[in-house]
Amino acid sequence: MSRLDMNKPFLPVRIAVLTVSDTRTPQTDRSGDILAERIASAGHVVAARAIVADDAPRIAAALSAWIADEQVDVIISSGGTGVTGRDVTPEAFDQVIEKRIEGFGELFRMLSYQKIGTSTIQSRAMAGVANGTYLFALPGSSGAVKDGWDDILVWQLDSRHVPCNFVELMPRLREHLAPGGHEGHGH
pLDDT tens digits, one per residue of 65-101: 999 999 999 999 999 999 999 999 999 999 999 999 9
Q: CA 133, CA 74: separation in Å to the nearest integer?
A: 5
Q: CA 123, CA 169: separation in Å to the nearest integer?
A: 27
Query: What domains can you pick out in the chain, each with its CATH number?
Result: 11-171 (3.40.980.10)
Q: CA 117, CA 127: separation in Å to the nearest integer?
A: 22
Bond before 57 cis per omega within 30 degrees: no
- What global pTM score does this model have? 0.93
Contacts of 174-182 with C-beta under 8 Å, sequence gap 24+, read: 174/131, 174/132, 177/131, 177/132
Maximum distance among all Cα pairs of the chain, rounded to whole angstroms: 48
What per-residue confidence (pLDDT) applies to 184? 40
User: What is the mean pLDDT of each successive set of 10 residues along the chain, which is 187 residues long?
Assistant: 92 98 95 98 98 98 98 98 96 98 98 95 97 97 97 98 96 79 39
